[in-house]
Amino acid sequence: MNQLWLDFKQRPLWRKALNIVSALFALAGLAIIGAWGVYQLGLTNDRGAADSNHRSILSVAELESLQGAKLTQERIDEQWALQYGRLAALARYYPENARLILAAAQRSADPLVVDRMVAAARIYMDQEPALDTLADRIEQLLAQAPQRQRRNVIPWMDNPEWAVLKQAILRDSALINRAAQLTGVEPRLIVGCLIGEQVRLFHTDRERLKQYLGPVRTLGVQSQFSYGVNGIKERTAIAVEQHLADPRSEFYMGRHFEHLLDYPGGVDQTQERYHRLVDYGNHLYSYLYTGCILHQTMLQWRRAGYDISDRPDILFTLFNVGFRQSQPKPNPVAGGSRITIDGRQYTFGAIGFDFYYSGELADAFPYRHQRFSQPGHPLTAADVVRIQQSVTDCRRPGYHHEYRRDTAASAANRYAEPPDPFGIDHSRVKPQ
């Protein structure tokens, strides 16, 4: 060994470097061959092990499922109540997990999926006797409360007409969302006005209208004293158009909206206005005028120092009573036209309010943080022409041929929600 070392020291530098590199390559080759041999012999295989929680995991898989089971709606409702109770208990200790489980469960047709998800989470809870106690107490309380037979807490929504009306509204969802985008109004507010008017119309002239609303699942269009699906009076429609064009008006919406309701040159505006609103094939203009009324009224009150943008009940009431009765003041009260349904009296504003906060149709018309906004740019001349060309036919169609389907209803328009653009002194504005 010493002799080898002496021979190595006496070699020239270049040869020493070559010898070192050769030795490193030889070692690398031996390492590769050794690793290949270990792999071929199976010495690196992980034999696996039974998870320490395997019994808990198995119990989750064995939990009963309601998927495909033939249960009454009452039984399913009872199961959902139990799941929500268990989630309420879990939320006191692990709120993030409860939130995630709730969000997932709401997309499932099987209420007992919550049981499995909670049981899976419990694997990582060593001992939570307090959580168990709370969950048991909630379940006992629920067992003591009788199951109500009425499906909906809001009486007028418990009628079969409401299910019919919802389908008609959904078929117009693309038009409603388009109008909301163009007028800078939350779509749900436009729908609240539509529902108030349709419910009022149906229950005021029930026998005549149910032959249209019931069989064909569509919206009633008015063509005499008030026009369209939202019952807009001619003087109100004229006022909306004037407010759009007058920067001095307390109802002025801004230059972005000035040409929204412009008329083509050379037309009879009175006749064209009627055609726009009493249109059996396309209700876009009904929703455009509705959005403008809501936006203009909100701005009138905000400029007077009162913010009603967070008061849908007041907005619906003012839509119903009209511009003449819109007098900004503190502590406004919801009301409007009285509507009697199954012997119980409601007001227009209250019906819109009931819908707005009911959660109904929230997938198509979700709640937005900002109810009023402004488009990113003014309408172009081409935009205005496209809106004008949306008018189809104001003649009443034959029975069973009332309305064409809105095949684009699922393609709801989404729009950004920029900051309030109207230059109002918000220090003077008081939430109502």
Question: pLDDT for 323-351, tens place per residue?
Answer: 999 999 999 999 999 999 888 999 999 99
Residue 69 has a pLDDT of 55
The answer to whether residue 412 scores a pLDDT higher than 80 is no
Residue 1 has a pLDDT of 60
Question: pLDDT for 64-97, tens place per residue?
Answer: 554 445 667 777 777 778 878 888 888 888 889 8
Question: pLDDT for 358-375, tens place per residue?
Answer: 999 999 999 998 999 987
Question: pLDDT for 150-165, tens place per residue?
Answer: 678 899 998 888 988 9
Residue indicated by tokens 């229950």: 203
pTM of the model: 0.72
| Exposed e or buried b per residue across 387-418, where buried means at least 16 C-beta atoms within 10 angstroms of its C-beta | bbebbeebeeeeeeebbeebeebeebbebeee
Give the angle subtended at the CA of 425 by the CAs of 421 and 427, to the nearest 5°.
Answer: 125
For 249-267, the three-class secondary structure string (H helix, E strand, C coil) is CCCCCCHHHCCCCCCCCCC
Contact 301, 422 (CB under 8 A): no
Rounded mean pLDDT, 287-303: 97
Residue 57 confidence class, pLDDT cut points 50, 70, 90: very low
Residue 16 confidence class, pLDDT cut points 50, 70, 90: low
Helix (H, G, I), strand (E, B) or coil at 372: strand
User: Taking the CA of residue 149 as centre, how many other CA atoms within 13 Å lie in the half-sphere pointing to its CB?
Assistant: 0
Question: pLDDT for 200-234, tens place per residue?
Answer: 888 776 545 455 444 445 677 776 778 888 999 99
Better pLDDT: 398 or 196:
196
- For the chain, give every domain's residue range: 59-144, 157-431
DSSP class of 422: S
